[in-house]
Amino acid sequence: MDMAVAEKRYTTISGVPIEPLYGPEQLRDFDPRRELAVPGEFPYTRGIHETMYRGRLWTMRQFSGFATPEETNRRYHYLLQQGQTGLSVAFDLPTLMGYDADHGLAEGEGGKCGASISSLEDMEILFRGIRPAATYFPIFTEPSASLLLAFGYAIPLRKERARGPAQTRKRALQQVGRQRLNGPRLSGPSAPAGSLTPGPSARALRA
């Protein structure tokens, strides 16, 4: 082994030392059944599905959303007709920051970088004619993730829908850490912003 390389100290970005070589001596207390398991079982080190992509292709989706809910809805129908198997919702800046489209601070920003959503009705229009049970809707947003996730679960509960919330699949990405470090938008102080994450997750699991 090159001595110059062997003597150099390597670490992860968290400062954890990385040895030049790993062998059985590093695995003396390793329990394969508990820590490795089998594909499709916790802790999912060998994949989240038993047969992985041999039995289930990955979801194909394009991050999309612009202008009004009606225009974005037409785009979603087009994408699904072209073979997409999922949708990634892009919201405009006022929606991301929790402002209605008619708020003074939203002037000039409505619908520019994503769909403009100010109400449950807007969210219903966004997904009109799209079957929630057949399509996975990730919601990529920041401070308003909790509210938008609630909108998404409320849609099937409306009188004209027979499906229940358990048949819909959604994901809300609350990017508190990324936005605090390098994002263009702040999510507020780290501690209270971070506390928003577990509550909606727990309620969604119970829904």
Tell me the per-residue pLDDT of 75-84, one tens digit each, with 9 for 90 and over.
999 998 998 8
Q: Is residue 36 part of a domain?
A: no
Structure confidence by residue, pLDDT tens digits, 13-28: 889 999 888 888 888 8
Q: pLDDT value at position 136?
A: 55
Whether 136 is covered by a domain: the verdict is yes
pLDDT tens track for 95-121: 888 889 999 988 999 899 899 989 888
**pLDDT of res. 74:** 95
Stronger pLDDT, 105 or 4, i.e. the higher one: 105
| Pair of tokens at residue 54 | 């041999």
User: Which pLDDT does position 166 carry in this prediction?
Assistant: 46
What residues make up the domain containing 153? 60-206
Model pLDDT for residues 43-72, shown as the tens digit of each residue = 999 988 899 888 878 878 788 899 999 999
| 3-state secondary structure at position 171 | strand
Q: Is residue 165 scored above 50 in pLDDT?
A: no
Torsion of CA 135, 141, 147, 151, to 10 degrees: -20
Query: What pLDDT sits at residue 175?
Result: 59
Per-residue CA distances from 16 to 19, 25, 122 (Å): 10, 18, 47
Structural domain total, the chain:
1
Q: Tell me whether residue 72 is in a domain.
A: yes
Task: Report the chain's mean pLDDT, rounded to a whole number.
Answer: 76
Whether residue 177 has pLDDT greater than 70: no
Q: Does residue 10 fall inside a structural domain?
A: no
Whether 86 is in a domain gets the answer yes
28 within domain boundaries: no
Q: Is residue 119 part of a domain?
A: yes
In a domain, 128, yes or no: yes
